[in-house]
Chain A
Amino acid sequence: MDFSIAALLAQDGITNGAVYALLALSLVLVFAVTRVIWVPSGEFVAFSTLTLAGLQLGKASGIAGLLVAMAVVAGLLEVLSAFRQREWKRLPLRLAAWTGAPLAIAGVLKWAAPLAPPFVVQILLTLVAVTALGPLSYRIVYQPIAEASVLVLLIVSVALHFAMLGLGLWYFGAEGSRTPPFTSATFDWGGVLVSGQSLLVVATSVALIFVLALFFNRTLYGRALRATAVNRVGARLAGISPAFAGMLTFTLAALVCAFCGVLIGPITTVYYDSGFLVSLKGFVGAIIGGLSSYPLAAAGSLLVGLLESFSSFWASAFKEVIVFTLIIPVLLWRSLTSQHHDDDE
């Protein structure tokens, strides 16, 4: 291996690592606030790429179908809960939010897709549509069992992953898609060729992380989520509704995943089931941060990206083995250095 190959691999690694970092952030966020290990995050990523690729071809039926299906179920749940509590006054508003809004988004997509809008508009449409799936999945799947144990929430997550995978095949088909690159520019930095595409991915990730940091540190809602993450009961006593916190968390996390999907679209061919392995790598990054520290999770994700690109060069058959076995020495290191604390769950 000479320097130029190493530089190329490093560039690949950092680009992928930046995407994994975003995923790791969303996983940490969801776990901290709702205790859900968000297994289906990968589907959000894949669906985002596939939606954008569909819009390129003037089609939006896949994502629109998903939105309609989930909007109908969410609407039914709202009617059912209004019926149980004999509380009809707030139903129209709730129906408007849970059924009307997603249906409207689906309608706009269906209307706009054949008009071949500019690329930026397509990206915006994709982000909005995939983000809408986040709160919908929380409302339908997690909110009714928000107080269940971490194990039950995890199993439900996996069940949702299966369901979404099946729906993905149904709505998006089995073919893989790739989206066109955002830019074809390359820069020569002292003999190292850096693609504008990579720069854009890294810059977007960093910007998004920065915006999220601002949100969590400077805004009331951001602080409310942090409070919920630290102490669920305390936050509830202070008037932060767990259902609202959960919904907001899933909106943010889905938005981040939608960004990931848009970013990886030009880098790799995405199939309906590609998301799982991608999100697992984000998960490895999150683990290195102990599922609680954002900066460590981001650093861990970068490490995963680099390790992946270098091991694909040296031992491509064992690429996944190497990446996932990385967790074990990290855990060993944490096991030997950390205090053995005794807090009861």
Chain B
Amino acid sequence: MRLTWSAAAVVVFLALVAGAPMFAPPFWVTLGNYIGLYSIAALGLVLLTGVAGQTSFGQAAFVGLGAYASAWLTTSYGSSPWVALAAGLAFTALVALALGFITLRMRGHYLPLATIAWGISLYFLFGNLEFLGGHTGMTGIPAIAIGGLELKSERSIWYLIWGTTLASLWATNNLLDSRPGRAIRSLRGGYEMAEAFGVDGARLKIVVFIYAALLAAVSGWLYVHLQRFVNPTPFSIIAGIEYLFMAVVGGAGSVWGAVVGAALITVLKQVLQDVLPQLLGRTGNFEMVVFGVLLIVLLQRARDGVWPWIERLLPKAPPAPVRDAAPLAPRDRGAASGPLLEVNAARKTFGGLVAVNDLSFRIEAGEIVGLIGPNGAGKSTTFALISGALALTSGDIRFRGASIGSRPPHEIARRGIGRTFQHVKLIPAMSVLDNVALGAYLRGRAGVGRAALRLDRQEEASTRAEAARQIARCGLDAHTFDAAGSLALGQQRIVEIARALASDPTLLLLDEPAAGLRYLEKRSLATLLRTLKGEGMTILLVEHDMDFVMGLADRLVVMDFGEKLAEGLPAEIQRNPAVREAYLGGV
């Protein structure tokens, strides 16, 4: 019964979109057209800023790029708007690629800064270039024609604008619910984790930036053929900031936030401009004051924007069930000969401090090796060297015979090493299923384009089935669809192991998996690890908890002050006087 309500809501929305130009007064048709245009550009920011966490002020400049490209090509060369669209998109993609390459390989606040510069410069450039009409702009831009039908009126172009808006919403929503979408959703707050499962974070950020820029260019193209006139004003840095307003006020976490925000800001500005002068009996910049104050109050009350309020009123759709699907192909393991992992004289210094001092050890296939040592012995640093989180100062680490020392984490993941984190790194708002499915990132191939067009469903079904299988293997099937953040710490650690297993690793690196677990949780963890070993998994375990390691590991490597103190069977290590001294301070 509740579901039919939400279906009804969608039908009403579509009916409004379809029927509005026939029944609504011209003023509202115009306003609706603009809301559609703004929604498309704001949607790009929802993905880039709200989901991927990269703030951009340049969205208006990209809108301007799409607009001016089409205006110039259609008026100066008489080309068709459709050809101009393609050219504008290509040019926009190039500019976005260049800007993204410069700024997005670094972490921090470089994208907002670069896009401010780019937004301001482009605006002044539009205003000063003769062939683009300078500050007065260009006129006589032709209307878009579809099969002989010229979209000259506001009412006729309505369907093109809203058709494009709905298509962009559909594609972006598809994208978020897919293999690249899971990776995009983990860029903010889970960057290091995503890299450890093979996501090339820098590259993905650039792809998202280009995607957002292309949406902006499409919006600009529609704008310029709706207006049939263009000047630099709507593409200033202030406009770039307004698109951010729309995304944030609407709710930057959801694609619908873009539409809500665009509608809210557009209508609010219109109403303030019309109503306030009548109310106060004079004109002035009062609408700016009221607009600013309203936004401040709104964001003080609702930091996540308006959409979450609306969403609470709508019935919740049940999670899509996991269907049976063809299993994902297992990862290529190559020919196994020699030790699986070889650490040769690995060294890491931080300034004058030698954290890991020429450490060497080996792991054979099928073993569980424990890496133990007192606090500050260098275990975690060693772990970071193997997983690629830190670069070696000297020495080498070889995995299946090939050197992996100082390689980036996503390359090390590609070779078949799966890991967990000492401090649990799950995306709390995502379901357990999605979190674990992210582990299988390297086993899928669907890219942004295929995901947006829903051509990835077969692979996606296999990925979900695989994730569900790993969750069941670890005994968490009751929580498959729960938000990962709602689980207890012990369960979250198990989810991390399931995620690592979903990557079908050859070697599993576990960073203090038993830390913070209760006794029973530790027992079930030990059982799980033994089962994995029985199935042929190789495990390196960094651990503090002696009882836990002693009962589980085949061999132990003991570290102290960055060096290897001892290596051997658990029983030998327990008897080793040097180890006892290191742990108990000389008995």
Contact = CB atoms under 8 A, between A and B. Distances in A.
A328 B248 contact: no
A345 B121 contact: no
Interface in B198-228: 202
B106 interface: yes
A339 to B, nearest CB: 9
A318 B124 contact: yes
Contacts, number: 141
B244 A145 contact: no
Contacts of B284: 166, 169-170
A161 B293 CA distance: 10
B406 to A, nearest CB: 13
B562 to A, nearest CB: 22
A152 interface: yes
Given A166-B286, A321-B125, A154 B55 contact: yes
A340 B195 CA distance: 13
B285 A165 contact: yes
A188 interface: no
B537 to A, nearest CB: 27
B113 A318 contact: no
Interface stretch (B22-30, B184-192, B366-374, B412-420): B184-192
B124 A152 contact: no
B53 A321 contact: no
A156 interface: yes
B289 A287 contact: no
Given A335-B103, A341-B107, A166 B288 contact: yes
A241 B291 CA distance: 32
Interface residues of A, number: 50
B248 A151 contact: yes
Contact of B248 (A144, A155, A341): A155
B303 interface: yes
Interface string A41-55: 000000000000000
A290 B296 CA distance: 28
B191 A334 contact: no
Interface in A185-214: none
B289 A155 contact: no
A163 interface: yes
B465 to A, nearest CB: 31
Interface string B249-263: 100100000000000
B313 to A, nearest CB: 23
B412 to A, nearest CB: 13
A303 interface: no
Interface residues of B, number: 52
B262 to A, nearest CB: 15
A155 B245 contact: yes
B189 A325 contact: no
A335 B105 contact: yes
Contact of B303 (A148, A317, A318, A320): A148
B23 to A, nearest CB: 35
Contacts of B527: none
A334 B284 CA distance: 44
B252 A151 contact: yes
Of B284, B296, B300, chain A has the most CB atoms within 10 Å of the CB of B296
Given A155-B299, A159-B299, A321 B128 contact: yes
Nearest to B101: A335
A338 interface: yes
Contacts of A280: 116, 120
Contacts of A338: 106
A150 B55 CA distance: 10
Interface string A91-123: 000000000000000000000000000000000
B561 interface: no
A57 interface: no
Nearest to A288: B113
Interface in A260-283: 280, 283
B55 A160 contact: no
Contacts of B568: none
Of A149, A151, A280, A318, chain B has the most CB atoms within 10 Å of the CB of A151
Contacts of A148: 299, 303
Contacts of B18: none
Given A144-B300, A162-B288, A163-B289, A324 B248 contact: no
A24 interface: no
A338 B116 CA distance: 21
B192 A325 contact: no
Contact of B195 (A155, A166, A342): A342
A165 B288 contact: yes
Contacts of A162: 288-289, 291-292, 295
A2 interface: no
Contact of B296 (A151, A156, A283, A334): A156
Nearest to A141: B296
Main secondary structure of the interface of B (DSSP, over half): helix
Contact of A151 (B55, B103, B116): B55
A10 interface: no
A175 interface: no
A76 interface: no
A327 interface: yes
B14 interface: no
Contacts of A159: 245, 291-293, 295-296, 299
A87 interface: no
Contacts of B60: none
B429 interface: no
B128 A344 contact: no
B65 interface: no
Contacts of A325: 117, 121
Nearest to A318: B128
Contacts of B55: 150-151, 154
Contacts of A156: 295-296, 299-300
B159 interface: no
Contacts of A326: 117
Contacts of B365: none
A304 to B, nearest CB: 11
Contacts of B107: 340-343
Interface in A223-254: none
A170 B290 CA distance: 13
Given A151-B49, A331-B113, A321 B192 contact: no
A271 to B, nearest CB: 13
Contacts of A318: 124-125, 128
Contact of A345 (B53, B248, B295, B300): B53
A345 B128 CA distance: 40
A202 to B, nearest CB: 26
Given A152-B303, A332-B102, A287 B296 contact: no
A331 B101 CA distance: 11
Given A165-B285, A320-B120, A327 B113 contact: yes
A50 to B, nearest CB: 15
A170 B286 contact: yes
B124 A344 contact: no
A74 interface: no
Nearest to A31: B109
Given A321-B121, A321-B124, A335-B106, A160 B285 contact: no
A342 B201 CA distance: 11
B421 to A, nearest CB: 11
Nearest to A161: B292
Contacts of A22: none
A8 interface: no
A76 to B, nearest CB: 13
B118 interface: yes
Contacts of A125: none
A320 to B, nearest CB: 5
A9 interface: no
8 contacts: A144-B300, A148-B299, A166-B290, A170-B286, A170-B289, A290-B108, A321-B121, A344-B191
Given A166-B286, A342-B191, 14 more contacts: A145-B303, A151-B55, A154-B55, A159-B299, A160-B296, A162-B291, A163-B292, A318-B125, A320-B124, A321-B124, A328-B99, A334-B106, A341-B107, A342-B192
